[in-house]
A and B are shown apart, each in its own frame.
Chain A
Amino acid sequence: MALAKATAEQIKDLAARYPSRQSAIIPALWAAQHEQGYVTDEAMHEIAEHLGLPPSLIEATASFYSMFLTRPEGRHDVVICINAPCMLRGADEMVAYLERQLGVRDGGTTADGAITWHSTIECLGACGGAPMMQVDHRFEEDLTPERIDAIIERLRTTPASHDAEPKRPSPRPRAKKSQN
């Protein structure tokens, strides 16, 4: 599926924003993922064309970063941290509870397509509110089984895209050309 015209335009704008168009690769991948839910081969090819770069470079970058998805997932994205600071405050128990409540294994998607969840060893920066998770990249802290139930309930009924785009993207200022 080709990228929407608006996304393609956004990518071209991004390229002009930086002193080097290559810097626009990650923002462009974000734009593609926001639109399509994950990064397709076709999108990478298109990004390469818009940025005038070899497609291998786009894949090299896309595959390096853990947040770019390579396959379609549920409407909502739930990530629960199990690194040590969270482990100390009961993350494993929350993971077990979440798994039981959702009825799918780590990395899986619920049958209704509402939620894809996975645990992560990558710290999400909320150790002070551990155990925690990120729902569509927003923080849910001090988890308890009751809070998890409430979150799941909310997600099953909300239609939002699983990979939320930052709210109110600012007007894109053009980067000044480097002055030598």
Chain B
Amino acid sequence: MAIKPLLTKDFATENLHQLSVYEKTGGYAGFKRALEMQPDELVELVKKSGLRGRGGAGFPTGNKWGFLPKGMYPRYLVCNADESEPGCFKDRYLIEKSPHQVLEGILIASYAIGCNLAFIYIRGEYLPQTEALETAIDEARQAGYLGKNVLGKGYDIDVILHRGAGAYICGEETALLTSLEGYRGEPRLKPPFPAVKGLYGKPTVVNNVETVCNLPHIVLNGADWFAAIGTPTGRGTRVWCMSGHVNRPGNYELENGTPIRELIEEHGGGVWKNRTLKAFQPGGASMMVLLPEHLDVALDFDAIQKAGSLAGAGAMVVMDETTCMVDAARRYVKFFHHESCGKCTPCREGTFWMANLFDQFEAGDAKPGDIDLLLDIGYNIDGRSFCPLGDASTWFPRSVIKFFREEFQEHISEKGCPFKKSVQEAVA
């Protein structure tokens, strides 16, 4: 498709991270325009644009804003930059290349919801990106984009950049708020939802980095313009993080609805080393595996869901014929085990048990009943855990058992990983 990128259109511009350069590309024009509008108009505009959250759940952004109870202040905007989903590295890219675009989006969202103090929660591992945002905030403050009486329009806004310290769970919005309040990043019961009772018990909106990056463009070009891009249920573009066995891994911003095949074969340059595609995984570590037969599925929330997976946070992990699917699942399960906050029983104990079982497959000690045992443990976690982390820990492994059960059986019958053995035999 021939649509030009929106968020990344100027990313080739040198020193785009600097305020002056960003302004030359039209930066902060969206915020200025927004300040000319009434906050309610902005909320309506974003609702009309059909923008859906880019953090994973795909909830309509304007609706999320609209849930804030009338007349309750203060209210907070928190930008979720805790990107930690294995396979995802788009927020990092968006921040690194154009921190002001992120900030501008935050300012627009803050103004729209009537927030005077916004937060960016950035994961602890993103140190260079923390620095980039710190610098951008300083520059913007000096330029009068944030502070008291911004641009003389009578609006006060400040932004606090808050660096996490290593906990995947903090990407879950209620855990993020708990963490931002200084506690252990454990998710909270919903309801109450953050829109009603969020940060410090006040109405709060949590928006992902990529989500807010869309806002300046929507404000400048209008809801109709945005709604014309993408698919009816997936307006606009998404930045896809491609990794794994492709020739050109990296971030690619594509119009929603683009076939997966185009992403992998054209943009990613196809499967590397002239090998064959075995499987791919959209969305990130949490999401179910898809097969070559799904290559013509569109990059779109609903289309991917229909195919049996989820678009999640926009990852695309490509696996060629040499991939041990059991080992891939093992890594993810160990990841979820490592990142389980420990709050609820099924996730805490279940991921621990699954991790043990996967290690047993890897070590060649698994027994025939272990495949069904894995499925059963998954049954007792999925839909039972406190937050989606536990649920998600079971999706990829269970989908791999569904499509590649024979690989598990081979691990049992050959007392170890058949892929590693063939590599060793080839070397010998």
Contacts and interface: CB of A to CB of B under 8 A. Distances in A.
A167 B285 contact: no
A84 B86 contact: yes
A56 to B, nearest CB: 12
Given A88-B323, A123-B84, A130-B243, A65 B181 contact: no
Contacts of A175: 117, 158, 160
A176 B317 contact: no
Contacts of B338: 121-122
A125 B92 contact: yes
B243 A83 contact: no
Given A83-B285, A128-B243, A173-B158, A20 B182 contact: yes
Contacts of B98: none
Most A C-beta atoms less than 10 A away, residue of B73, B116, B162, B249: B249
B408 interface: no
Q: Sort chain A's interface into a size bin.
A: 35 or more
A17 B166 contact: no
B76 to A, nearest CB: 9
Interface residues of B, number: 68
B123 A125 contact: yes
Contacts of A67: 124-125, 165-166
A83 B332 contact: yes
A52 interface: no
A72 interface: no
B285 A137 contact: no
Interface string B153-182: 000101010111111100000000001111
Contact of B87 (A61, A123, A178): A123
Interface string A117-153: 0000111111111100010011100000000000000
Given A25-B182, A88-B319, A130-B249, A122 B166 contact: yes
B242 interface: yes
Given A29-B165, A170-B137, A129 B183 contact: no
Interface string B233-262: 000000001111100011100000000000
Contacts of A104: none
21 contacts: A19-B74, A22-B181, A26-B179, A60-B183, A61-B183, A67-B125, A68-B165, A83-B86, A84-B86, A84-B328, A88-B243, A88-B319, A122-B168, A123-B285, A128-B89, A166-B130, A169-B134, A170-B137, A176-B116, A179-B74, A179-B116
Shortest 10 CB-CB contacts between residues of A and residues of B? A127-B243, A65-B165, A66-B166, A67-B166, A123-B86, A22-B182, A25-B182, A137-B127, A64-B184, A84-B331
Given A64-B341, A166-B163, 8 more contacts: A20-B182, A26-B162, A27-B163, A84-B332, A164-B127, A168-B134, A175-B117, A179-B73
